[in-house]
Chains A and B, each alone.
Chain A
Amino acid sequence: MLTDFTQLEAGTPVNGNDEVERNMVLVEKLAYSKGLSPEAISIMLEFAMSLRMGTSLCARVLKCLIPATLVPQEAVVRAVVWLSVGKIPVSTQILFIKWVLTVFDMIDAKDQLRAVYGFIFNFVTEENLCPFICHLLYLLTRKESVVSCSMLILFPQGRQPFLLSLLSLYKVFCPEMVMLSIPSRIKSGFRNHNMPWKSALIAVQKGAGPHVAAGISPASTTIKTNPRKRVWGFSKEAQTEPSSCGKVVPLVQLHSFAQLLENMHRIELPAQMGSLLGSSLALQYLDCVQDESALLRLNFWLGYALHEEFLFCGDRGASQNSQEALPFLDRLLSTQHFLQEGFSCSEAFLYKFLNVWDGSLLRPQILGLLSNIPVVPSAQIRQLLFEPLMQLFFTSSLFFKCGLMECLNNMLLKWLTWHSVYALEDDLDISLNSHTSINMTLSGFKDSVMELVDFVGRLASLGLQLEGCHSLLLSFVLDFYETVCDMFMKYGLPLVVMPPPGVFYPALFATDPVSVDRLAYIMHRYKVNFTSAKSQEELTKAFHISRQMVREFNHYIIVMVNCLWNSKMFQLDMGLSLGEDLLLKSKVPQYWASFDLVHHPAFMSYAVDFHHRDMDLNSIKVRGHF
């Protein structure tokens, strides 16, 4: 569709031209919904300013030039050149300058515009254009520009506020060149000229959404005086400008991975690292290059934002926090998810925050951040992590308990994944790098995992008791143990940990069949892991399975089989000691068979289903006859 515009011949009539009309409508539709891409802007601007189809379309096109992301500066420079050709009516010229002022922040670079500074300056003499040109010059002025222009032109023009504003800026840069005295307060300065495009721009930018885009979404650079709001200004436009020699490429200018690869060796980081948070490209670059200062700056800013918003916030209400904090935390989470790693500042923040958290403010986000914490050495894990979590767990609702279970499960998964990627070949306790004070060796890692699994086991046992073996909580707990049972086979960690009785028995006697089934699956996986570990042990003597664990496993298996299959419940040494008189008192007939496959309450539904089928026993007998 856009190519149609480029191919239109000069002089094609407008009136009655249905095809052009249709295309225009399509372009307008696209512009107002999603905004135009930079190429589209280029083409349409060229089409409009060259007046290929007369002046009437020019204004219409200018009015619908809503950029989606950026405006290429070459298009603007070319359009400025067209301005001087002289055929465009004055009102349209004013419209064009107003458009440039409106999208000024979205122009990708300004060096070419600055190169034609003098050319633009000449328009100051045009009375109608003067205010807008002054505004544009004000935005473009640098010290070098001032030197190259003659001041004399401005003098006879009078003392309008826009002229004075421009002059005062010149005076700041080159005081010796401006002889005029300028009053201290220039009343109006420059007015906002973005009226025709303002609402459409806002709509398009809102629609663009907070997803992690390949480029960096520019935003206005107004300094927000509200100090709290400034905390969230992470999408501020980066402050570096491209250097004229082109040796160094600012990171903000790269929009695709290919560009990143091309310019890898000469990338310049923005002045504010916080602006990179939403850009996947920038994060990939940082992750690869590992520039310590850059990462530290990012961490400082991120940590500052988290601390100010949640820890130092004083008596502000929770509702205020959530509205602004939610998108920020979501973005942080998606960044961490993208990088497959957490930021150290968020870890530090969480350890402090967990002590004061009420368990419900922004729960999914906080738990998400928590699951990204890296392996904590076993010496500190109790104080840093377990203490606050215990307090939260036992004073919270069922849903928090489930959420925390899931979070700890994710945490374990991430730790195990880390280990399996960087696993030691041998498990000797070697401190391989002696120049840092604390290392994580395999045994240290195993200790931490052991602590975590133990902790979750204790939480689960007590939690299930508190919640009356609620099946939702049981399901999350069994999720966790599905991860735990396969630690050896799936992740190569030579560690097998059995679930505590407080988890095993509620699952075995659960009232829904899924839990019993999952328990059986988990026990099966344990068996597979044990047998594989045993064979490994014989082969390499690499690690020693804990005999205690094997005994526990055997015990559980015996119990399970006796219970479900052999109808020998409550007999033998089960670990559940219920005196016989008590069992008799319960008046359950054949109590030893009360939990086998036929009588188990969990399988009741299957039994009922079986009976509902059209089973004509007589027909079976008849068949058996033959």
Chain B
Amino acid sequence: MERHQNRYNSILLITLLKYYFLKETRTPRNNVVVHRRRKSKSYRLSYRSGLGAADSRLGWSPALTARRLNTSRKAAGISNIAERVDPGQLALLVKTEWQLSYVTPLHQFRHTQLKSYARQLSAFIAAGKQQGLAVEVEGLQTTFRVSFSLVQGMTQSDEDAESVLVQIHSKRLFARQDEPQKPVWSGWLTCINGNPDYLRALPKDFVCLPLFGCSGADGLSALVKSWFQQSFDCCFGLLEISHTSLQWLMALWTNCHAESGIQHLKMIWTLPAAPPLQVTYTVDPEDAWELWSSVRKGKGGGGGGEEEEEAGENYIDIEEVTSFMQGLKSHFYRHFRLDLSAGSLNQVSTALGSAKYSGRMKISNSRYMITTLTLLTECALLKMPI
């Protein structure tokens, strides 16, 4: 339980680091009666600590200056996601490479109006296409049919908003009725295990779906993003998967080897030589698993006899991840006399999925989707401007 406590303490501490204060009207010092309007609102933002509604003047902000990625997270357990999410939708989400972005909260987005959104978006795309904006799609297409669907069952907490899947199908001119329509573009918005204090602090008419993934033509992606921007006053920005997050993914995936084999652990590094040297470092799964277990045993073994031991096995700390990484790097150094810390990690992939620094991500196995998406949601929330 101590680890739980630490986690929540750290979140609380981080959130409490914000410093907004109330101002009340006062009568002037010399007691001259001035009929000043009693403002119950603060001079500046007062911080919503989740205890109750606060007032704001020029905006609002939760604690964010000191937000950091969680230093310990739950190891990927087998989640019964296949039972909770519609398998058709699940099939659409896995095995595709997505380009990730972060999204600021959407204003007045209603999960009940998805059909209307679909219609608006298709009109928008049609208008955009007519105006000659870059929508080069192969083949003989006439119009695009857009569908918005709710992906239910993915949320992990009460604060998470339901995920939304957007697909754009092309309607061929002479298509037969029964011909299956492959989507030419798909995208999704999701929020998995988002920081509950942040989510609770948002006003009611905002929906926070900070993680956005898309795959398909760039022109269509741009159109969809600008439609969202116009309709919900949100902003899209590139989400890069940082070095730390890539390490986390590596560790989390390797941790699952016992349950479903990872088949290989492949890393792609770029070393700043002239010309830049690209190193593809593939580790045999058994070796990776051995290294990982030894790291885990070293860290987690000390907690014998405490009640947290059971819980402790489920939690991975950042130190274990860095030791794991350090082990891999030193092994490489021993063989090739090249220190990989001088370079940058660009890509990590296993049979469970792959992730690139540029923000491209693929999930190959739906069982571990939740953990991966939790980590990515956290990354996206860290990029929120306030």
Contact for A438 among B21, B107, B222, CB less than 8 A: B21
Question: Which residues in B have their C-beta under 8 angstroms from that of A436?
Answer: 20-22, 42, 46-47, 49, 51-52, 54
Contact assessment for A292 and B233 in the assembled complex, using a CB-CB cutoff below 8 Å: no
Question: Which residues in B have their C-beta under 8 angstroms from that of A295?
Answer: 56-60
Count of chain A residues with a beta carbon within 8 Å of a chain B beta carbon: 73
Contact assessment for A374 and B43 in the assembled complex, using a CB-CB cutoff below 8 Å: yes
Q: A553 near B: Cβ within 8 Å?
A: no
Question: Which residues in B have their C-beta under 8 angstroms from that of A138?
Answer: 130
Shortest beta-carbon distance, B50 to chain A, in Å? 9
Q: A17 near B: Cβ within 8 Å?
A: no
Contact for A172 among B45, B60, B123, B383, CB less than 8 A: B123
Residue among A172, A352, A425 with max Cβ neighbours from chain B (10 Å): A172
Q: A290 near B: Cβ within 8 Å?
A: yes
Contact assessment for A433 and B24 in the assembled complex, using a CB-CB cutoff below 8 Å: yes
Within 8 A of B (CB), among A148-191: 165, 168-169, 171-173, 181-182, 184, 186, 189
Contact assessment for A181 and B131 in the assembled complex, using a CB-CB cutoff below 8 Å: no
Q: How far is the CA of A119 from the CA of B24 in the complex (A)?
A: 59
Instruction: Known contacts A272-B233, A297-B233, A351-B65; decide if A435 and B134 are in contact (CB<8 Å).
Output: no
Question: Which residues in B have their C-beta under 8 angstroms from that of A306?
Answer: 385
Kindly specify which of A258-266, A416-424, A565-573 makes contact with the partner chain. A416-424
Q: A256 near B: Cβ within 8 Å?
A: no
Q: B94 near A: Cβ within 8 Å?
A: no
Instruction: Known contacts A299-B61, A440-B21; decide if A189 and B44 are in contact (CB<8 Å).
Output: no
Question: Which residues in A have their C-beta under 8 angstroms from that of B195?
Answer: none
Q: How far is the CA of A425 from the CA of B234 in the complex (A)?
A: 43
If over half of B's interface residues share one DSSP class (helix, strand or loop), that class is named, otherwise mixed; here it is: loop
Question: Which residues in B have their C-beta under 8 angstroms from that of A273?
Answer: 233
Contact assessment for A271 and B231 in the assembled complex, using a CB-CB cutoff below 8 Å: yes
Question: Which residues in B have their C-beta under 8 angstroms from that of A171?
Answer: 143
Contact for A435 among B52, B128, B229, CB less than 8 A: B52
Q: B26 near A: Cβ within 8 Å?
A: yes
Contact assessment for B29 and A423 in the assembled complex, using a CB-CB cutoff below 8 Å: yes
Kindly specify which of A4-12, A71-79, A336-344, A508-516 makes contact with the partner chain. A336-344
Contact assessment for A425 and B27 in the assembled complex, using a CB-CB cutoff below 8 Å: yes
Residue among A230, A295, A352, A436 with max Cβ neighbours from chain B (10 Å): A436
Shortest beta-carbon distance, B55 to chain A, in Å? 8
Question: Which residues in A have their C-beta under 8 angstroms from that of B202?
Answer: 296
Contact for A292 among B17, B51, B60, B235, CB less than 8 A: B60
A-B Cβ contacts below 8 A, count: 195
Q: How far is the CA of A342 from the CA of B134 in the complex (A)?
A: 39
Contact assessment for A225 and B126 in the assembled complex, using a CB-CB cutoff below 8 Å: no
Within 8 A of A (CB), among B209-264: 219, 222-223, 226, 229-231, 233-235, 237-238
Shortest beta-carbon distance, A431 to chain B, in Å? 9
Contact assessment for B22 and A440 in the assembled complex, using a CB-CB cutoff below 8 Å: yes
The 7 closest A-B pairs by CB, nearest first: A303-B385, A440-B21, A299-B59, A304-B235, A437-B49, A344-B59, A300-B104
Give the interface of B toward A (CB within 8 A).
16-29, 31, 41-47, 49, 51-52, 54-61, 64-65, 104-105, 107, 122-123, 126-128, 130-134, 140-143, 173, 202-203, 205-206, 219, 222-223, 226, 229-231, 233-235, 237-238, 383-386
Sample (18) of A-B pairs whose CB atoms are under 8 Å apart = A138-B130, A189-B132, A227-B222, A271-B230, A290-B41, A292-B60, A296-B203, A304-B235, A341-B44, A344-B58, A348-B385, A374-B44, A377-B21, A424-B26, A425-B27, A436-B22, A436-B47, A439-B21
Give the interface of A toward B (CB within 8 A).
138, 165, 168-169, 171-173, 181-182, 184, 186, 189, 223, 225, 227, 230, 239, 271-274, 287, 290, 292-293, 295-308, 312, 339, 341-345, 347-349, 351-352, 374-377, 379-380, 384, 418, 422-425, 432-433, 435-440, 444, 492
